[in-house]
Structure 1
Amino acid sequence: MQTISINCFLYILVILSLGSYAAAFTVRWPIKNIYSWEKEAHDLLQLPFNKRLPNYITSTRSYCLHCLHQLSWKELIPLFSYIKLNGKCHYCQVRIPYRYPAIELLHLICCLPLFWFFDNTYNLVLHTLLISALITAAAIDLEHQLIPDECSIIALACALLINLPTSMLENSVLGMITGYGIIAVLRWFYLTFRGQEGIGLGDAKMIAGLGAWLGLSGLVPLLLCASLSGILYTVLINRNGTKYMAFGPFLISSAMLVFFLNL
């Protein structure tokens, strides 16, 4: 019992650390990539490009986004530092964005049950990384309507490795191919008949990973749940259709719901 308690405590520390890194990634990834795309566009058009990335983005250390003061380790303890600092920067007293404690807490809520669901380290580690990648992708897609390839690749790799030593590998591969194919075909039809992009390839790549995770049999409840939640969001919140709706968070939250209900 004592060993289990210690292992659980250590796992909680790992989850929160992973959540802290994921929260920082949701800030740095968009800035870095938008910078790269702007630079590439200027180079393509042979235009001068004098913009530079901020030091707090290129540095391996963490900074306050407002006053740019380098943070000490005491100010970077997941959840606890946020509570101790009352949600404000110690130096400039500007409120710390809610994304940090929210993403750390989401990691704790979504990953902690895995400790009791899996009794081997192999499955526990892979599922933890997979769910962390999904939470990170959902957070970025919700804010920027972009799904990082890094998150999709991690999710896909973890899903295939999870099913590799089992009899579910074939079902996993079929789920990956079918999931990607469904979204790619829908995207092609929308482009052909509407002349505009209705769903991005980022969603297709993500659902390939989700299909590999849940298998072919899990695609139907996944797509049904994601579609219904998307419709419900449109009816209740986005009635006028004035706000672009990122589909990634609906896919990811539905996939995790299907996964936990089937455990």
Structure 2
Amino acid sequence: MLASFLEYVLYSLFFLSLGSFSAVFSVRWPEKAFLSWQQEAHQTLSIPFQNVFLTDATKRSQCPGCKHTLAWFDLIPLLSYFLLKRRCRYCMQSISYRYPVIEALHLICCLPLLWIHPDTKLLILHALLLSSFITLAVIDAEHKLIPDECCVVILACALSINLISQTLESSVLALLIGYGSIYTLHWGYKAVRGTDGIGLGDVKLIAAIGAWLGIFELAPMLLCASLSGILYNVILNKKGSDSVPFGPFLIFSAILVFYL
């Protein structure tokens, strides 16, 4: 019983650590991406470019207010946030709630895996996959961008999971059908309306989700994502003036279909 309890604690710390990394990545990746695009634009126009990247990914975590390097005990997932009373130890500036929320989401989404997958390899692969889902959903919701890095991790984990589970045929078939059908829809809508109905990032995400869930769960996932997106627009986006990223609905539906 003690060993089992210790395993739960260790796995929970692993999930929370993934959440801590995810929260930082969701801040740094958009900054780095926008900087890269600005640099490319300056090079195309032959305009001198000055690096003004605010967060260097090679440096240790810093307080965004006072720029003080944070110690390890300032970065303990969830615990540090509440012990510091939601404020920086050095300048007393409020700490964004995004960090504990993302860490808690990792714990909530990943902890049930302990009862589903006793195999350590499958458990770790699913944890990495779900972490990439949450990271992608946060970035897409905030910036309407889908990082290729997250899609690659999801696809690699999905194929590995189905290879171990000996269901690779269904995985590859869902990947091809998901990508082919949604890309055709993207191309057809653009040809008729002259604008994108669904982004190419969503096409890649659907293919990666299909590779994870398999051919029989692809249609229910897409149906659930479409219905949840419609409900969101009807209830919360009544004016319909704001374009809504589809990635979070796809990810919510994929996790729902997986667990149910």
| TM-score when normalising by structure 1 | 0.96
1:176 counterpart = 2:175: yes
1:134-188 Cα distance to aligned partner (Å, 9 max, x none): 0100010000001111110110110100011333111000111111122211211
Structure 1 residue 121 and structure 2 residue 120: aligned? yes
Determine the C-alpha separation between the residues in 1 that align with 2:69 and 2:166.
50
Cα separation, 2, equivalents of 1:57 and 1:236:
40
State how 1:65-144 maps to structure 2 within 5 Å.
65-144=64-143
Question: What's 1:26 paired with?
Answer: 26
Q: Return the offset for 1:250.
A: 0.0
> Aligned ranges for residues 144-223 of structure 1 at < 5 Å?
144-223=143-222
Q: Cα gap change, 1:233/1:95 in structure 2, threshold over 3 Å: closer, same or farther?
A: same
- Alpha-carbon RMSD: 1.1
Q: 2-side partners of 1:58 and 1:166: how far apart? A: 36
Q: Which residue of 2 aligns with 1:44?
A: 44
Amino acid at match of 1:174: L
Structure 1 equivalent of residue 248 of structure 2: 249
Summarize deviations over 1:71-96 as a string: whole Å, max 9, x none. Answer: 11111000000011111112222221
Measured after TM superposition, the shift of residue 214 of structure 1 is: 0.5
Q: Could you list the per-position Cα deviations for residues 3-60 of structure 1 after superposition, in whole angstroms to 9, with x for gaps in the alignment?
A: 1111111111111111000000000000001100110111012112123222x33333
Please give the alpha-carbon distance, in whole angstroms, between the structure 2 residues aligned to 1:219 and 1:82: 38
Instruction: Tell me which residue corresponds to 2:62.
Output: 63
How far 1:67 moved relative to its partner? 1.8
User: Secondary structure in 2 aligned to 1:86?
Assistant: coil
For residues 85-131 of structure 1, give each alpha carbon's deviation from its aligned partner in whole angstroms, at most 9, with x where no partner exists: 11111222222111100110000000011011111111101101000
1:4 counterpart = 2:17: no
Q: Deviations over 1:172-210 (max 9, x none)?
A: 001111111222112111211111112111111111110
2:154 and 2:226 mapped to 1: Cα distance?
A: 21
User: Corresponding residue for 1:229?
Assistant: 228
Runs (4+) off by over 3 Å: none
SS in 2 for 1:188: helix
SS at match of 1:240: coil
> Match of 1:206, as an amino acid?
L
Unaligned runs of 5+ in 2: none
Secondary structure, in 3 states, of the residue corresponding to 1:58?
coil
Q: d(CA) in 2 for partners of 1:251 and 1:183? A: 13
TM-score normalised to the size of structure 2? Answer: 0.97
